[in-house]
Amino acid sequence: MAGVEASQAPAAGPLSIDANLLLAKPTALGPGLSTGFGIGVTRGRTLAWEARASWSTATESSISWTVTQSDLRLRVGAAVQSTLGRARAGLRVGIGPTIIHETRTRNQGAAANLTGSALGSSSFATLPAGDVEAFVALHVFGPWLFTVSGGPGASIESGNLRGGWISMMGVGWQP
Amino acid sequence: MKVVVLAIAVFLGGGCSDLEGLGGPASALVTFEVVATGDLGPLRPAGISSDVSLQIALVWGAQWWTEPFCIVSAESDAVTAVTDAGCRDPFGFVPASVSASVPVTIGASASLALFALPSTDLLVGGISSRVGYASLVLYDDRDGDGTLGLSKSHPTGLTGRGPGQQDTTDSADIVYGASFLTMTAPDQRVAFLQGSFDAASAFYPREGCPEPPDGFSVLSAGGFSAAAGLAASTAGTLPSEDPASCAIQQQPDPLLISIAASAPTDVAEVSCTESTLDGTARYQEPPTDEPDFSGRVTACAGLPSLGGATPPNLTQLVVSGRSTDHCKGLSHYVLRGCAQDVSCAAPDWDLTGNPPSWWPCN
A87-127 tens-digit pLDDT: 999 999 999 999 999 999 999 999 999 989 889 999 999 99
Distance from the Cα of B191 to chain A's closest Cα (Å) equals 11
Chain B CB contacts of A125 below 8 Å? 14, 16-19
pLDDT at B300 over 80: yes
**pLDDT of B15 above 70:** no
ipTM strictly over 0.95? no
pLDDT band at residue B156 using 50, 70 and 90 as cut-offs: confident
CB contact under 8 A, B14 and A62: no
- Report residue B166's pLDDT band, with 50, 70 and 90 as the boundaries: low
Q: Tell whether A65 is within 8 A of chain B (Cβ).
A: yes
Answer whether A60 sits within 8 Å of B22, measured CB to CB.
yes
Q: Best residue in B10, B20, B22 to probe A by mutation, most A CBs within 10 Å?
A: B22
Q: Are A67 and A104 in contact (CB under 8 A)?
A: yes
CA distance linking residue B227 with residue B94, whole number of Å: 20
H-run or E-run covering B246: none
Does the CB of A110 have a partner CB in chain B at under 8 Å?
Answer: no
User: Between chains, do B7 and A108 touch, taking CB under 8 Å as contact?
Assistant: no
Share of chain A above pLDDT 70, in %: 94
Cβ-based contacts of B24 with chain A (< 8 Å): 65
Q: Tell me, what's the pLDDT at B3?
A: 58
- CB–CB of A108 and B117 under 8 A? yes
Is the pLDDT at B6 greater than 60? The verdict is no
Does the pLDDT at position B75 exceed 90? no
Q: Which chain A residues are within 8 Å of B14, Cβ to Cβ?
A: 97, 125-128, 156
Q: Please indicate if any CB of chain A lies within 8 Å of the CB of B19.
A: yes
Report residue B339: phi and psi, to 5°: -60, -40
Rounded distance, CA B137 to CA B56, Å? 5
Shortest distance, CA B188 to any CA of chain A (angstroms):
19
At B92 the pLDDT is 95
Question: CB of A97 within 8 Å of any CB in chain B?
Answer: yes
Per CB-CB distance under 8 Å, the chain A contacts of B15 are: 126-128, 156-159
Q: Kindly report which listed range (B7-21, B77-91, B203-217, B290-304) carries the lowest average pLDDT score.
A: B7-21
Answer whether residue A128 shows pLDDT above 60. Answer: yes
Interacting residues of B86 by C-beta distance below 8 A, sequence separation 6+: B70, B153, B297, B318, B319, B320, B321, B328, B329, B330
Q: What is the pLDDT of residues B96-122, one digit of tens each?
A: 999 999 999 999 999 999 999 999 999
Q: Is the pLDDT of residue A3 over 90?
A: no
Q: Which band of pLDDT confidence, cut at 50, 70 and 90, is reported for residue A2?
A: very low
What is the residue-averaged pLDDT of chain B?
89
Nearest CA in chain A to B115: A64
| Residue among A156, A167, A133, A159 nearest A21 (CA) | A167
What pLDDT, on a 0 to 100 scale, did the predictor assign at position A9?
A: 60
Report phi then psi at B159, rounded to 5: -60, 130
Q: How far is B212 from chain A (nearest CA, A)?
A: 13
Instruction: Give phi and psi for B300, each to the nearest 5.
Output: -95, 135
CATH of region A2-57+72-95+130-173, choose from 2.40.160.20, 3.90.550.10, 3.40.50.450, 3.40.50.10800: 2.40.160.20
Q: Measured between CB atoms, which of A63, A65, A100 is closest to B19? A: A100
Distance from CA of B349 to the nearest CA of A (A): 51
Mean pLDDT of A152-156: 95
Predicted TM-score (pTM) of the model is 0.83
Window 83-122 of B: residues touching A by CB (8 A cutoff) are 115-117
| Average pLDDT of the residues in B212-236 | 92
B30–A112: do the CB atoms touch at under 8 Å?
Answer: yes
Is the pLDDT at B317 greater than 90? The verdict is yes
Is residue B307's pLDDT more than 80?
Answer: no
Q: Does A173 touch chain B (CB under 8 A)?
A: no
DSSP B151: B
Checking DSSP bridges between strand B129-140 and strand B109-114, what pairing results, if any? Answer: unpaired
Chain B partners within 8 Å of A28 (Cβ)? 17, 19, 21
CB contact under 8 A, A108 and B11: no
Could you tell me how many CB contacts below 8 A there are between chain A and chain B?
93
**Where does the pLDDT of residue B160 fall: very low under 50, low under 70, confident under 90, or very high at 90 and above?**
very low
Mean pLDDT of A51-61: 97
Residue type for position B155: P
- The answer to whether A102 contacts B215, with C-beta atoms less than 8 Å apart, is no
DSSP state of B103: E
Q: Which of B12, B24, B29 sits opposite A109 (nearest CB)?
A: B29
Query: What confidence score (pLDDT) does residue A169 get?
Result: 98
Distance from CA of A67 to the nearest CA of B (A): 6
Residue B328 vs residue B7, higher pLDDT: B328
Backbone torsion region of residue B295, taken as left when φ is above 0, otherwise alpha when ψ lies between -120 and 50, otherwise beta? left
Cβ–Cβ contact A70 with B under 8 A: no
Taking the C-alpha atoms of residue B112 and residue B223, their distance in angstroms, rounded to an integer, is 25
Which among B19, B214, B216 has CB closest to A125?
B19
